[in-house]
Structure 1
Amino acid sequence: MSGLLALLDDVAGIAKVAAASVDDVAAQAAKAGAKAAGAVIDDAAVTPKYVHGFDASREIPIIWRIAKGSFRNKLVILLPIALLLSQFAPWAIAPLLMLGGGYLCYEGAEKVLHSFLPHEGHAPEVNPVDTDPAHLEEEKASGAIKTDFILSAEIMTIALSAIPDGHWAWVGLVLAIVGIGITIVVYGAVALIVKADDFGLYLASSPSGAVRGIGRGIVHVMPHFMKILTIVGTAAMLWVGGSIVIHSLEQLGLSAIGHAIHGVAAFVGHLVPENLTATVEWLVTALIDGIFGVALGAALMPLAEHVIQPVIRLFGGGDKDGAAH
């Protein structure tokens, strides 16, 4: 009997350890996913444009097709690469983060610039009714999946940098949870955004006056919501991109910018009541990171537009901006 009780006690102990490990994995996945907020919000803001102009019956199938491509990007291609980096070339993570952060800064700065100066370099968007719908759907979905690959690479690299060193299987599990969770959140949100107008129109045809009012309100609000989402996405890109580059520089031993920002944030934090200090310091840091992101993105624009993009087009690729605008 005592042996059975000891066995049950051991099983209970193992169960507690397993439960703690699951909680730890979930906590690390949530933390790593939060680090990728800028790319995630931008993904949700950009993707609805790929189904603009298509028949309403094709919107969800197109989004599902893009989502499946996103799962493949993250889990089949990028996850193994991330694991190889974490095990055999951890020194490469900081430079890769800087590349991803620089890309976010460039994208954000370009969006800011073109909000004041309209695009002149891109051809007018083709209306889906003016060409073969099946061909255009294929083209749009393929373009969206290519764009997603860039964003997914940023997300997985950011997530990898936020995960403490551990066994490759543990790191892989956390990354898989992050990849799956973010993809579900992003494309679930995209589906809701895309179908919101249709839902609003459906409610607007209701015999109930109150329901009709709600429907008309949804239809009226959605264009403004999309503008706000784009602004928030751009701000998040600049904040996260700037923060990534600054922290990566610190990891490489170049900590002057990070220390200066921390000093400014601490100085401002001491000017407010103690219960607001942490919040104000975070806001000041995020603001300065964003300003740094704008400056870095603006500095990278000539390189991206006159060197990188021509090379990509030369090899038959496309750029995100061209697809998104």
Structure 2
Amino acid sequence: MSGLLALLDDVASIAKVAAASVDDVIGQATKAGAKAAGAVIDDAAVTPKYVHGFDASRELPIVWRIAKGSLFNKLVVLLPAALLLSAFAPWAIAPLLMLGGAYLCFEGAEKVIHAFAPHHPGEAAPDGDPAHLEEEKVAGAIKTDFILSAEIMTIALAALPQGSIVMQAAALAAAGVGITALVYGGVAMIVKADDVGVFLSLKGRFAPTRALGRGIVHGMPKFLSALTVVGTAAMIWVGGAIVIHGLDQMGWGWLYHQIHNIAHAVSALVPGAQGVLDWAVTAGLDGLFGLLLGAALIPVATRVIAPVWGLVSRLLPKRAGGRL
């Protein structure tokens, strides 16, 4: 009996250790995922456009296919790459983060410029086989997701404390799965919200229910527009903050400290709201820097990188059908 009790005590101890490890993994994954909030918001803001124009019956299957591609990007491709980077080239994390942050600034600034530029009549939807168009849309969405997922996983990796590679892998995997579920679960709710609104407005038994349905239908376009604005602002703010923090880590901390000093001075003016003001001023200045950096990168991307990439693409061998 004493041996059985000792065995049960050992099992209980192992269970406690395992539970503590799970808690550590979840806690680290949550903190790491929070650091990537800007890229996560932009991912959620970008994805709904890929189901636009398709039959309502295809919306959720398309979102599910993109979500599976996103999981493949994060867990099969990016997770091993991030662990190898952490183990053999940790010095490269900060420059890669800065490169990703600069890309976020570029994307955000480009969206801002397009929002204020004169609008041209939209092009007609391309004719063709719906299945083929869906394949192209899904492939494009997964490519875009790869870029955002790379940024998310790199930010998450940088936010993790030093520890065993198993713990880092588990935390990164948990963060990747959790972020994917959050983003694409939210996207699925967004793209089907208008259908729910139509159903409530037509089939609701009570007047308030029908009014709620009409409100959802009329409010979704404004909500999507607001989500786009929030996603763009988050891209610029987070991208600018990543670059500024990276410069500080690499020994060029003048700008980082100037922003910190300005935010501290402004927040000291209102003793009751120091924390909020400090964050708001820091985020605003980070965002202003990100917008200026992104605007400066636009001509570099369009006049240098794009032509060079086009030349490289033409020189690469082609597969059957004319596509790479």
TM-score, normalised to structure 2's length? 0.91
Which residue number in structure 2 is paired with residue 41 of structure 1? 41
Give the counterpart letter for 1:172 in structure 2.
A
Q: Which of the residues 219, 231, 234 maps onto 1:233? A: 231
Which residue number in structure 2 is paired with residue 248 of structure 1? 246
Give the counterpart letter for 1:249 in structure 2.
L
What is the DSSP-based 3-state SS (H/G/I as helix, E as strand, rest coil) of the residue aligned with 1:165? coil
What does residue range 51-62 of structure 1 map to in structure 2 within 5 Å? 51-62=51-62
What is the DSSP-based 3-state SS (H/G/I as helix, E as strand, rest coil) of the residue aligned with 1:204? helix
What does residue range 252-291 of structure 1 map to in structure 2 within 5 Å? 252-273=250-271, 275-291=272-288
What does residue range 102-181 of structure 1 map to in structure 2 within 5 Å? 102-118=102-118, 124-127=122-125, 130-181=127-178
Provide the rounded CA distance (Å) in 1 between the counterparts of 2:71 and 2:240. 27
Which residue number in structure 2 is paired with residue 309 of structure 1? 306
What is the DSSP-based 3-state SS (H/G/I as helix, E as strand, rest coil) of the residue aligned with 2:19? helix
What is the DSSP-based 3-state SS (H/G/I as helix, E as strand, rest coil) of the residue aligned with 2:53? coil
Which residue number in structure 2 is paired with residue 184 of structure 1? 181
What is the DSSP-based 3-state SS (H/G/I as helix, E as strand, rest coil) of the residue aligned with 1:205? helix
Residue 5 of structure 1 and its aligned partner are, at CA, apart by: 5.5
Which residue number in structure 1 is paired with residue 26 of structure 2? 26
Distance 1:144 1:311, change over 3 A: farther
Which residue number in structure 2 is paired with residue 71 of structure 1? 71
Residue 201 of structure 1 and its aligned partner are, at CA, apart by: 1.1
Distance 1:316 1:253, change over 3 A: same
Provide the rounded CA distance (Å) in 2 between the counterparts of 1:118 and 1:151. 28
Gapped runs of 5+ residues in structure 2?
A: 315-324
Which residue number in structure 2 is paired with residue 94 of structure 1? 94
Give the counterpart letter for 1:88 in structure 2.
F
Give the counterpart letter for 1:146 in structure 2.
K
Provide the rounded CA distance (Å) in 1 between the counterparts of 2:111 and 2:102. 14
Residue 7 of structure 1 and its aligned partner are, at CA, apart by: 5.2
Provide the rounded CA distance (Å) in 1 between the counterparts of 2:236 and 2:38. 8
Residue 211 of structure 1 and its aligned partner are, at CA, apart by: 2.1
Q: Which of the residues 203, 217, 221 maps onto 1:219? A: 217
Provide the rounded CA distance (Å) in 1 between the counterparts of 2:119 and 2:296. 19
- 1:253-291 Cα shifts (integer Å, max 9, x gaps): 111111111101111111112x42122111111111111
What is the DSSP-based 3-state SS (H/G/I as helix, E as strand, rest coil) of the residue aligned with 1:303? helix
Gapped runs of 5+ residues in structure 1?
A: 318-325
Give the counterpart letter for 2:57 in structure 1.
S
Distance 1:116 1:229, change over 3 A: same
Provide the rounded CA distance (Å) in 1 between the counterparts of 2:19 and 2:218. 47
Provide the rounded CA distance (Å) in 2 between the counterparts of 1:316 and 1:203. 50
Give the counterpart letter for 1:32 in structure 2.
A
Give the counterpart letter for 2:43 in structure 1.
D
Residue 299 of structure 1 and its aligned partner are, at CA, apart by: 1.1
What is the DSSP-based 3-state SS (H/G/I as helix, E as strand, rest coil) of the residue aligned with 1:64? helix
- 1:114-165 Cα shifts (integer Å, max 9, x gaps): 1111466xx944526x321111111111111111111111111111110111
- 1:166-214 Cα shifts (integer Å, max 9, x gaps): 1111111111011111111111111111111111111121253322211
Give the counterpart letter for 1:67 in structure 2.
A
TM-score, normalised to structure 1's length? 0.91
